[in-house]
A and B are shown apart, each in its own frame.
Chain A
Amino acid sequence: MEAGAATATPSGGRSFLERSPVGRLPDRVLKWGLTFLASLILVLIVYFFIRLIGQSQDALSRFGLSFVFGNDWDVSRNIYHGAPLLIGTLITSGIALLIGVPVAVATALFISEICPRRLRTPLGVVVDLLAAVPSVVYGLWGVFVLIPKLLPAEKWFASTFSFIPFIGGGTVTGPNYFIAGLILAIMILPIVSAISREVIASVPSEHKEAALALGATRWEMIRMAVLPYARPGITGGAMLGLGRALGETIAVVLVIGNAPVIGQHLFNQGYSLAAVIANEFGEAQGIHVSALFAAGLVLFVLTLIVNVIARGFVARGDRGRRGTGATGVTIAPAVTEP
């Protein structure tokens, strides 16, 4: 490359090697330009938070704490107590974690420890492809395939196990908490699995070899060497999955039933924070709009808390290692001065 710009003509009090003030200008522009871009992100997020609080002020001041804890969301009477939404969000995300995390971790263990080396990359790619399916397509599939196909099984399950509280008894509706949770489980599977794979790959091979050398079987090696080491990272991955599940909108709004009540059991209709925004925002007026912004604020705070805790776990599991960042979630290592 040309180094011509570096050799400025000697003039004034500058040394022969020093760059002219004009020659130094692009450097400063670049540095401060990039710094400006970076700070823009901070400003944007803080600004969004403030504006969101401002927009939801009306609803929050009118309903106070009962906006979160009251159980009465009635558009026709203009009463917005959002407990059904919050509980719907928590129930569906909980189901998603219960189903999704064990499968995701098992998949990660199988791919990185048990399956033949040649199958590793293709299997990993296929699991990652689940993340590429747009949420509206999950919704479409849920509405026209999953709901009708699973309804008989759900009815059988609800009547057979009707003695278990929150599961049996009552009517089984097509769209319900369980279907929403199941779809969310499928949607969080790739991210939880990808992070688990990354964490498992970082278990020192000395630990694994030591376990095997002491006579452990493969499963005992996984249980005694891999899992204890990878636990914080896997927990963090599960929390990140929870963050995804809490905020998922389009797939949930299509399969949760959109009934603003707290469903009596697993196979009842409900609502969620994200779903209510997507569903009612278009026709909302007056205080209703503000209530929906407040729902957004609650969702924002909820996902924020979950994500902050998750980052803590992932960072702890990541300490002292180079983050590969293949999924864009690991904490990148701090760069040392060259």
Chain B
Amino acid sequence: MSVYVRPPEVLPGISRRRRYTDWVMCGLLGLATLIALIPLGLILYFLVKRGAGQWSGKFFTTDPNGNFLGYPGGIRSALLGSLEIVGLSTVVALPVGIGVALYLVEYGKASRFAGLVRYFIDVMTGVPSILFGLFIYIVLVLSHIGGTFAAWKGAVALALLMLPIVVRSSEVVLLLVPDSLREAALALGAPRWRVVFRVVLPTAGPGLVTGSLLAIARGMGETAPLLFTIATATGLTASLGQPMNSLPTQIFQDITSPRNAVVDRAWGAALTLVVLVLIFNIVARLAARRSRMT
């Protein structure tokens, strides 16, 4: 006998009111899930519909030119600038972030100071991104360290934003490294630093990659910290010491333009940005799938 059939003579059936309530509520929950998925579908639809047509060889190989007529230029400088800035911020945020996570897991543990650091990391996660821009403006731009606006200052602002994400995800992964591995290495006479570099980090490697990629994806899409740090430039520059263009700031500027051609460029650039972010997200998830340590 199937378990789902209830012998009516033993137990009374569920009353009609309760059964309907159950159906209605479960239906509502399903409906809410559908509603939650609608915006994502709509955004992707409009991005592809209005952005894909913009993609062309010219779109990726020319810079915005500011002409009032004709082709407004593509997104070469924005794309390269974004990659350069995010690359630099990754170089800053990853070592520091993983270092702090290592401190928390290997040395700080449950100490009061480590708890304080964790708390501040959480606070940092909640700080609005535009405030990181203000912070870098106060500390690096106002003080004229290496000129006023520069790409590397934007990268530092992004790094601050990425830092708590890297720390949090790395800490979780490092905690998953079995203590027996550490103990085995220590018992063989390896010093602590060697245990960290030869046992803990390689074991946690794929997980660390996942967290880092998610942080990069997050940093890539941020506009607010760049507004007052890299200023606005449209030309192509490889120098990190000068104002630089980036995809999010380019889109932000293009949105307010009265020219349709420029708005179209914003859609094309937005599609490019979303594709980049999604690639990082997907790779991160694939890396996570390969690193089930437990």
Q: Is the CB of B168 within 8 A of A133?
A: no
Say yes or no for A138: interface residue by CB 8 A criterion: yes
Q: Which of A31-39, A74-82, A154-162 contacts B (4 or more CB under 8 A)?
A: A31-39
Q: Is the CB of B14 within 8 A of A52?
A: no
The 8 Å CB contact of A134, one of B42, B171, B277, is B277
Q: Which of B53-61, B62-70, B233-241, B262-270 contacts A (4 or more CB under 8 A)?
A: B262-270
Q: Is the CB of B22 within 8 A of A247?
A: no
Known A-B contacts A193-B36, A311-B122, A337-B109; A6 and B188 likewise in contact (beta carbons under 8 Å): yes
Say yes or no for A73: interface residue by CB 8 A criterion: no
Q: Which residue of B lies closest to A246 (CB)?
A: B128
Q: How far is the CA of A253 from the CA of B144 in the complex (A)?
A: 28
Q: Is the CB of A3 within 8 A of B188?
A: yes
Say yes or no for A152: interface residue by CB 8 A criterion: no
Q: Is the CB of A277 within 8 A of B135?
A: no
Known A-B contacts A137-B47, A137-B273; A130 and B40 likewise in contact (beta carbons under 8 Å): yes
List which A272-312 residues lie within 8 A (CB) of chain B. 274, 277-278, 281-282, 293, 296, 299-300, 303-304, 306-308, 310-311
The 8 Å CB contact of A135, one of B100, B123, B134, B223, is B223
Say yes or no for B108: interface residue by CB 8 A criterion: yes
Q: Which residue of A lies closest to B110 (CB)?
A: A334
Q: Is the CB of A134 within 8 A of B255?
A: no
Known A-B contacts A35-B107, A247-B129, A249-B224; A125 and B192 likewise in contact (beta carbons under 8 Å): no
Say yes or no for B283: interface residue by CB 8 A criterion: no
The smallest beta-carbon distance between B278 and chain A, in angstroms, is: 6
Mask: chain A, 9-52; 1 = CB below 8 Å from B; 0 = not: 00000000101000110110111011101111110110010011
List chain B residues, Cβ under 8 A from A140. 251, 255, 266-267, 270
Say yes or no for A171: interface residue by CB 8 A criterion: no
Q: Is the CB of A134 within 8 A of B36?
A: no
Q: Which of A61-69, A202-210, A211-219 contacts B (4 or more CB under 8 A)?
A: A211-219
Q: Is the CB of A303 within 8 A of B110?
A: no
The smallest beta-carbon distance between B166 and chain A, in angstroms, is: 9
Q: Is the CB of B22 within 8 A of A109?
A: no
Say yes or no for A335: interface residue by CB 8 A criterion: yes
List which B6-42 residues lie within 8 A (CB) of chain A. 11, 14, 18-19, 21-22, 25-26, 28-30, 32-33, 35-37, 39-40, 42
The 8 Å CB contact of B171, one of A104, A218, A332, is A332
Q: Is the CB of B122 within 8 A of A37?
A: no
Q: Is the CB of A217 within 8 A of B263?
A: no
Q: Is the CB of B222 within 8 A of A126?
A: no
- Chain A residues with CB under 8 Å of chain B are 1, 3, 5-7, 17, 19, 23-24, 26-27, 29-31, 33-35, 37-42, 44-45, 48, 51-52, 55, 102-104, 106-107, 109-111, 114-115, 123, 125-127, 129-130, 132-141, 143-145, 186, 189, 193, 215, 217-220, 222, 240, 243-244, 246-250, 254, 274, 277-278, 281-282, 293, 296, 299-300, 303-304, 306-308, 310-311, 323-326, 328-329, 331-338
